[in-house]
Amino acid sequence: MKLINEQLIEVPSSLQSKEEIIRQVAGLLYAENRITDRDGFITDLYEREQELSTSMGLGIAIPHAKSQYVRCPSLVFIKLENPVAWNEDNVQLVFGIAVSKEHEGEMHLKILSQLARKLMNDNFRNTLFGISDRREAYTALSFLNGETAL
């Protein structure tokens, strides 16, 4: 199963709070049968968030959890219409990462490092900020599925 598909992308999104975003990340994963327990996964996201904010600056947050409720490694992408307060930052791009506890080591770090490395590129970030629909987002993020982004 691919890490991300078009159903795991929400562009544009009118969500207005960190809480709504976290619920939506879990909701998208649950709707695609990638997690077994929506509320349990939400709890795991909040536990990780309490350790250290998942906002990375530059208008981007990467809420993530290693959870017993994850069926397969997955990535959600949400581009917000308006920036939302995320602890000390305001974010407009959100990447939700779900990894099962059994894959927590290698898979979790691989996804985070691939994504973080790409997000440091100004052109890539600007592309994401300029995206207006789900298909454009999927094309830009296809590298995460091992495909070449157009």
Q: What is the pLDDT of residue 110?
A: 85
Domains of the chain and any CATH numbers: 6-143 (3.40.930.10)
> For 137-146, what is each residue's pLDDT tens digit?
999 999 898 7
What pTM does this model have? Answer: 0.94
Per-residue pLDDT tens digits for 22-74? 999 999 999 999 999 999 999 999 999 999 999 999 999 999 999 999 999 99
Residue 1 has pLDDT above 90, yes or no: no
Comparing CA positions, the residue from 6, 16, 11 lying closest to residue 128 is 11
Q: What is the 3-state secondary structure (H, E, C) of the chain?
A: CCCCCHHHEEEEECCCCHHHHHHHHHHHHHHCCCECCHHHHHHHHHHHHHHCCCEEECCEECCEEEECCECCCEEEEEEEEEEEEECCEEEEEEEEEEEEHHHCCHHHHHHHHHHHHHHCCHHHHHHHHHCCCHHHHHHHHHHHHCCCCC
Would the pLDDT of 148 be above 60? no
pLDDT digits (tens, 9 = 90+) for 94-138: 999 999 987 656 777 888 889 999 999 999 999 999 999 999 999
